[in-house]
Amino acid sequence: MIISKQKPREELFEQLDGVNSLFLIGCSACATECKSGGEEEVFEMEEWLTSLGKAVTGSIVIDSPCNINRTARDLRSQRQQVEEADAIMVLACGAGVHSVAIKSNKRVIGALDSLFLGNTRRIGKFEEKCSLCGTCILNETGGICPATLCPKGLLNGPCGGMEEGKCETDRDLDCAWHLIYEALKQQGRKNVFTRIVPPKDWRKKKHPDSLDTD
Ligand code: SF4
Ligand code: SF4
């Protein structure tokens, strides 16, 4: 899931200069789960904008605005309300903002900051476990990612600073390589720990990336 949070209101306020009316778009997937752009947050945003004297011509919560065709379809279904607005405010991750930007000729205001690909620990608590490097080495590391969990991104660890399983950069953090050792031990694969993981070929992580499965 893409973890996002709302931009500070002061930052959004600056974006509203010269904008008198807005159409709002939320996301019923990730941004709803993050409580940054679901129905409730769209409603709160509408209240805030109204209190500033802005007109809200309408709103919609799209099922995954990162889906370009679905976003285009939902924008068409609200054509009149969208047309009446000076700008569209999108409470979704950057991918959602992009879908709206390419499927509408209106000014688009992104209301969220997209943070990371996250695992859910519990409602409202998210943790980064994979940083989408493009060449996954989890088969060598017991399913635990050192590229993400080790602040130094060491592919062969631990470094000399590990103490009692804790990371030298922050003693509250578990050392990624201690976790990897424990995972491999539990899986009966301790021998894998001594393998040297070759350097990553970062050329495979290109921007913009794409995948066509046809
Ligand atoms: S190695 Fe780590 S960052 Fe790369 S894809 Fe695998 S889990 Fe994600
Ligand atoms: S202590 Fe472990 S997690 Fe911390 S920097 Fe060293 S190897 Fe990485």
**Residue 174: nearest ligand to its CA?**
2
**Residue 133: nearest ligand to its CA?**
1
Residue span of the structural domain in which 44 resides:
2-116
For residue 30, pLDDT over 90 is answered with yes
What pLDDT score was predicted for residue 114? 98
The pTM assigned to this predicted structure is: 0.93
Q: Best substitution site from 145, 152, 179 to test ligand 2's pocket, by max atoms within 8 Å of Cβ?
A: 152
Report if residue 126 sits inside a domain.
Answer: no
Looking up residue 90, the CATH number of its domain turns out to be 3.40.50.2300
Single residue among 116, 147, 179 that ends a domain in this structure:
116
Q: Which of 177, 206, 209 is nearest to 193 (CA)?
A: 177
Report if residue 76 sits inside a domain.
Answer: yes
Same domain membership, residue 63 and residue 151 = no
Per-residue pLDDT of 138-197, as tens digits, reads 999 999 999 999 999 999 999 999 999 999 999 999 999 999 999 999 999 999 999 999
Single residue among 82, 116, 150 that ends a domain in this structure:
116
The overall average pLDDT reported for the chain is 96
Report if residue 208 sits inside a domain.
Answer: no
The token duo for 200 is: 């990553």
Report if residue 7 sits inside a domain.
Answer: yes
120-127 long-range contacts, Cβ below 8 Å, gap at least 24? Answer: 120/1, 120/33, 124/35, 126/1, 126/3, 126/34
First to last CA, the chain: 24
Helix 94-103 with 68-77: angle, nearest 10 deg: 60
**Measured in angstroms, how far is the CA atom of residue 110 from the centroid of ligand 1?**
28
Same domain membership, residue 107 and residue 139 = no
**Measured in angstroms, how far is the CA atom of residue 97 from the centroid of ligand 2?**
36
> How would you class 102 by CB atoms within 10 Å of its CB: exposed for 0-12, middle for 13-18, buried for 19 or more?
exposed
Instruction: Give the model's confidence band at 201: pLDDT under 50 very low, under 70 low, under 90 confident, else very high.
Output: confident
